[in-house]
Structure formats: structure tokens, C-alpha cells
Amino acid sequence: MADKAYQRVETEELGEFKFAIITGKGFKAHKRNDYNSYKVTLEISESEAKRLQKVIKEFWKENKPKDGPKKPANLDSLVYFNERTEKWSISPHSRTEFDDREVVIGIVDCNGDKLDPKVFGSIGEGSTGYVSVNITIYDEGVSMFLNSVQLIDFVPFAGGSGDGSGNFKKKEGKALAGKDAGSFSKKKKEKKKKNK
């Protein structure tokens, strides 16, 4: 049996991230899955969507199974038009573990330099960039697996974790980071001194 065909594909036009879970435990993408996944949803231009569809169709034509359909059955779900937002998107995913090894989704900046996933792994809506994926075939279609993310503009995800204080925008008023700044840590220090 011949080796399975793979092709690395990168988005070429800047897109906007609408959803991203690429670190930690991931999430269960479908209730029937017995594994967790990492996933991003990247909004792309129509011209980029058409380019990606062409790449996928050519890959399918060159590598499809002998009795496979003329075009991959899932083409419209790999690169899709969202009727609600009226935007084109892709949503590549990856298992969080493969062959009992942890999968790491690479994160780089505009120069290709690696970024710390603990800092840049929580990507919020409004972030922009590119993704790198691997495509491969199965009996009726093409699978698209997430490899890495290149961030151009980074907006940290502000909801669902931490203390929630990252959601506020600057407003008029008196700054409270004056003489009592860091009062939480001062109380802890004073307590430690008394205990010594």
C-alpha cells in the first residue's frame, strides 16, 4: 500500500481569528469523539477562499482513491461561506495528542520567531494572521489539520478565565494606582512580617 499523501498549505492573505483554542487541554469538538482537539476559525477574503479551494481540488485530483468522486465531498465544509456573517472561513483542527505524544501548535510572529504559547496561546477575536495546515485524503474527501499560527496583530482572549479584569477599556476618572497601588501584595507582605 502506498504512503498517504500530505501537503503543507499556508494561507497567503491576512485573515482575522474568530475562534482559537490551541493550548492546554483543548476541547471536545464533537460529542462522539473520544479525544480533545485544538482548533482555530480564521475569516479570509473571497479570493483567498477560492485559492484554497483550488489547491484542495488539485490535491484531490492528484491523490484521490481510484473510485473516489470527482471532487472531495467535504470541499464546502473545509473552505466555507458563513451565511450569518457573510464571510469566508476555514476552521482547521488537530488532536491534542497523537500516538500518545502531546501535539504542539506552533505560534510565531511576523518574522517567524517562536512565541511563548503561555502568553500568545489565548488568541482573542480581532487578532489577525495566517495559519499553516496539512491536508491529506480519506475515502470521500480531504482532511485539514492545523500545524501552526502566525500572528500579526494579537488581541489576548479576555473571557472565560483569569479574574476577568482584562475586559475593561480606559475611561474618564481618577487613577487608583497611586499611594495604595499594589495593596493586595502589601497586605500579604505585612502578614508575612508579623509571622516571622
CA-CA-CA-CA torsion for 69, 1, 5, 35, nearest 10 degrees? 90
Q: Domains in the chain, please, with CATH?
A: 6-169 (2.40.50.140)
Q: What is the pLDDT of residues 9-66, one digit of tens each?
A: 999 999 999 999 999 999 888 888 899 999 999 999 999 999 999 999 999 999 999 8
Task: Report pLDDT for 181.
Answer: 42
Give the global pTM: 0.78
Average pLDDT, the chain: 85
Of 132 and 171, the one with more pLDDT: 132
pLDDT given at position 47 = 98
* Greatest mean pLDDT range, 89-93, 100-104, 178-182: 89-93
Determine the Cα–Cα distance for residues 147 and 22; give it in Å rounded to an integer.
Answer: 10
pLDDT of the residue at 68? 87
Sign of CA dihedral 155, 22, 11, 132: positive
More confident residue, 143 or 192: 143
DSSP E strands: which ranges in the chain?
6-10, 15-21, 37-44, 79-82, 87-90, 93-95, 97-98, 101-102, 106-108, 128-137, 142-153
Q: In angstroms, what is the C-alpha Rg of the chain?
A: 22
User: For residue 182, what pLDDT is reported?
Assistant: 45
Residue listed under C-alpha cell 477562499? 49
pLDDT band at 4 (very low <50, low <70, confident <90, very high): confident
C-alpha cell at 91: 476552521
